[in-house]
Amino acid sequence: MTNAVLTGLVLGGMYALIAMGLTLQYGVARIMNLSYGEFLIGAAFASYWLFTGWALNPLAGLAFVIPVSFGISYLLYRVLLTPLVRRARTRDALEVDSILATFGMMFIVQGIMLTMFGGAYFSYSFLAVPVTIVGEVLALNRLIAFGLAVVVGLALYLTLTRTRIGTSIRAVAVDPIAAQLVAIDVTRTSALAFALGGALVASAGVLISMFLTFSATSGVVFTMKALIVVVMGGVGNLLGCLVAGLALGLSEALVATFIDPGLTLAVNFALFLGVLLVKPAGIFGRAQR
């Protein structure tokens, strides 16, 4: 039982980590980013390259990957997505446009990775050592990913609730039109949130590459997982993300241990659908708009 709970928590932390960037990108910048998983895999490849080519510790690699991905995401929003935001008359129209545009982006990023690395599977070992916690053995790299998810989640939560910039980000999330009335530069704030999301997903990619086998085409799995966590937790809500991620991870581990590993994913989806039916806006979501 302890083992299942611990495994579930660690797995759930990973899910939350994957999803946090998307909740910012989608909740604040209002970009339904279908190429999200591709950016995660891109960071995983960067980490793989740094580790195997330059013997750079993936955790140290974060110092390199995070700013780069922040910059790329920022530029992406300013150059490619701002025109879409400008021309969209309603939020629905922006949703449609951003789905289409990021769908194209997904192909581009995937295409670049395919030409650079080919379609084969990649994997390396880093910190794959056992750690014993309350008598149960866990992998250190997974534990670190979990720890970082909690730390990042809390730090972001505090930033969003306690600082001025955080407050303006939340204001944009609630109502981008009204936010302008209180002298918030919505475009800049949105770009910032989008870039922050990009940096988060990149750090998730680096951490995950330490223990998951990935290939250039495996991004879509993560996009979907992230979307599910985000929607389940309530769009734009970091704590919701954490709770939803942990709920999914725990249910997966408990079902695998006590019922049947074959049903884990089905239970995950059932849980997700169930939450939506009871609370259509997600666990922590407010009513729409």
Partner 1 sequence: MVSAVKRLAAGLLAVVGAASVGWDGAAEAQTSVKIGYAISRTGPAAGGAAVTTIPNYELWVKEVNAGGGLKLGDKRVPIEVVQYDDRSSAEEAAKALERLITQDKVDFILPPWGTGLNLAVGPILNKAGYPHIASTAVTDRAPELAKRWPNSFWLLGTSADAAKTLVELLVKLRTEGKIGDTVAMASIADGFGIDLSGAARPALTAAKFKLAYDKTYPVGTQDLSPIINEVKALNPDVFIAFSYPPDTIAITEQSRISGFNPKIFYTGVGTAFPLFKQKFGANAEGVMGIGGWNGDSPAIKDYLARHKASAANGAEPDRWASAVTYAGLQMLQQAIERVGKVDRAAVINDLQSGTFDTVIGKVKLENNMPTKYWWVGQWQDGEFYGVGPSGNEGARAPVVPKPAWKAQ
Partner 2 sequence: MSSTQITTGAICLAAVVALAFAPMIVDAYHLALAISLLQFTVLATAWGMFSGPTRYVSLATTAFFGVGAYTVAVLGEQLPWSLVLLIAAAIGAVMAVIVGLSTLRLSGVHFVIFTFGLAELVRQIVVWYEVNMTRVLGRYVFVDITQNDIYWQLLTLAVIVFGTGWLIARSRFGFALRIIGEDETVARHCGINVTIAKVALFTITATFMTLVGAIMAPRFTYIEPSIAFNATISFEVVIMALLGGAHRLWGPALGAIPLTLLFDFLSARFPSTSTLIMGVVFLLIVYALPSGVVGLWEKLKAWRPTASKMRGAQA
Q: Is 103 in the site for partner 2 (CB under 8 A)?
A: yes
Q: Is 132 in the site for partner 2 (CB under 8 A)?
A: no
Applying CB under 8 A, the residues found at the interface with partner 1 are 3-4, 7, 10-11, 14, 49, 53, 110, 112, 114-125, 128-130, 137-139, 142, 211-218, 221, 249, 252-253, 256-257, 260-262, 264-266
Distance CA 29, CA 37 (A): 17
Sign of torsion over alpha carbons 220, 226, 231, 232: positive
Among 33, 110, 168, 218, binds partner 2 (CB under 8 A): 110
Distance CA 229, CA 133 (A): 27
Q: Is 181 in the site for partner 2 (CB under 8 A)?
A: no
- Please, what's the b/e burial string for 228-260 (b: 16 or more CB within 10 A of its CB; e: otherwise)? bbbbbbbbbbbbbbbbbbbbbbbbbbbbbbeee
Residue type, 212: L
End-to-end alpha-carbon separation of the chain, Å?
A: 41
Spatial contact of 226 and 235, defined as CB atoms under 8 Å apart: no
The residues, any chain, with a CB within 8 Å of residue 165's CB and separated by 6 or more, are: 159, 189, 192
The residues, any chain, with a CB within 8 Å of residue 125's CB and separated by 6 or more, are: none
Site string for partner 2, 233-262 (x = CB under 8 A): --x--------------------------x
Where in 200-229 is the site for partner 2 (CB under 8 A)?
220, 224, 227-228
How many residues bind partner 2 (CB under 8 A)? The answer is 45
Query: How many CA atoms are closer than 13 Å to the CA of 164, on its beta-carbon side?
Result: 4
Spatial contact of 125 and 142, defined as CB atoms under 8 Å apart: no
Judged by beta carbon distances under 5 to 8 A according to partner kind, the member of partner 2, partner 1, none in contact with residue 272 is partner 2
Q: Is 115 in the site for partner 2 (CB under 8 A)?
A: yes
Stretch that binds partner 2, among 1-9, 160-168, 185-193, 266-274 (CB under 8 A): 266-274
Where in 53-92 is the site for partner 2 (CB under 8 A)?
80, 83-84, 87, 92
Judged by beta carbon distances under 5 to 8 A according to partner kind, the member of partner 1, partner 2, none in contact with residue 135 is none
Smallest separation, CB 134 to partner 2 (Å): 32
In the bound state with partner 1, the residue whose beta carbon lies nearer, of 9 and 156, is 9
Sign of torsion over alpha carbons 176, 178, 179, 181: positive
Among 9, 106, 191, 239, binds partner 2 (CB under 8 A): 106
> Contact residues for partner 2 (CB under 8 A)?
26, 32, 80, 83-84, 87, 92, 95-97, 99-101, 103-112, 114-115, 220, 224, 227-228, 231, 235, 262-263, 265-266, 269-270, 272-273, 276-277, 280-282, 288
